[in-house]
């Protein structure tokens, strides 16, 4: 089981001269939990098949809280035999484990997840900025918004951190930016245009590249406005 930061790290880990695929034994099982590219997941699986090895791409969602509590959501792509073999292990760290078929589809599912996360973080930040500028009681507005149809995981878990000036990473801003760039690369291949995701990528690029805040949590997006608010 592997989980590293970027696709290039996965590539190195598996394909270097002294990497995993150079030393793997037949009938072993490879599970990469990194959020990476669908094409790289397929590349690993193809080489694994040649070596009589099964491989899964199994990126996760749930942040530091889900990892600590063993309640991650896991999105799995690969051969069903490999999925069934991995399931007892994945159940230790995950609460919801969903199988999406062929290799690379776990990564596609994670990209769908990240599209939603990015839009939610933009909405959360703008909601706080607006409420503050309107001189509303912020704890009361969070309680109100969180009890209606706008309730969501990011609001519950990240808004209190923002108000406490806690920008420690449950999930690194630089990693969300990496994911959004993967999404936009995949949408280009699909002939899709996702303007909301494009905006989120621009905002996180500004946060990470212009403000050098990539090692803070995704909730640091608020810093693009917070001082002005």
pLDDT of residue 64: 84
Pick the CATH number of 7-103 from 3.30.380.10, 1.20.210.10, 1.10.275.10, 3.40.50.720: 3.40.50.720
pLDDT tens profile 172-220: 999 999 999 999 999 999 999 999 999 999 999 999 999 999 999 999 9
Phi, psi of 166 (to 5 degrees): -105, 105
Query: Which neighbouring-strand residues pair with 55?
Result: 30
What are the extents of the domains in the chain?
7-103, 108-224
Q: Which residues of the chain have pLDDT under 50?
A: 228-229
Distances (CA, A) of 223 to 127, 162, 209: 13, 10, 14
Closest CA to 86 of 107, 129, 111, 55: 55
Helix-helix angle 105-133:153-163, to 10 degrees: 50
Residue 96 C-beta-side C-alpha neighbours within 13 Å? 7
Tell me, yes or no, if the pTM score tops 0.85: yes
The CATH code of the domain at 108-224 is 1.10.1040.10
Report the alpha-carbon distance of residue 162 to residue 164 in Å, rounded.
Answer: 5
Supply the pLDDT for residue 65. 87
Return the bridge partners of 72, or none.
Answer: 94
Report the pLDDT value the prediction gives residue 72, as an integer from 0 to 100.
Answer: 96
The pLDDT of residue 229 is 44
Length of the chain: 229
**Are the beta carbons of 35 and 175 closer than 8 angstroms?**
yes
Active-site residues, by number, are 110
């Amino acid at each position: 089981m592997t989980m590293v930061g970027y696709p290039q790290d996965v590539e190195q880990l598996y394909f270097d001269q002294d990497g995993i695929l150079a030393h793997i034994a037949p009938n072993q099982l490879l599970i990469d939990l990194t959020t990476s590219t669908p094409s790289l997941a397929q590349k690993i699986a193809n080489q694994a098949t040649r070596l009589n090895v099964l491989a899964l791409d199994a990126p996760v969602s749930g942040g530091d809280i889900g990892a600590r509590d063993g309640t991650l959501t896991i999105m799995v792509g690969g051969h069903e035999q490999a999925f069934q073999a991995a399931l007892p292990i994945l159940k230790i760290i995950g609460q919801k484990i969903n199988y999406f078929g062929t290799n690379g589809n776990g990564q596609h599912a994670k990209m769908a997840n990240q599209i939603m996360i990015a839009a939610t973080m933009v909405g959360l930040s703008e909601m706080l900025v607006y409420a503050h500028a309107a001189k509303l009681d912020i704890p009361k507005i969070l309680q109100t918004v969180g009890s209606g149809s706008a309730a969501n995981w990011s609001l519950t878990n990240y808004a209190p951190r923002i108000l406490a000036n806690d920008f420690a990473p449950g999930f690194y801003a630089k990693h969300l930016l990496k994911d959004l760039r993967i999404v936009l690369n995949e949408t280009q291949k699909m002939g899709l245009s996702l303007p909301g995701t494009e905006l989120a990528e621009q905002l996180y690029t500004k946060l990470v590249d212009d403000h050098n805040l990539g090692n803070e949590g995704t909730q640091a997006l608020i810093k693009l406005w917070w001082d002005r608010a």
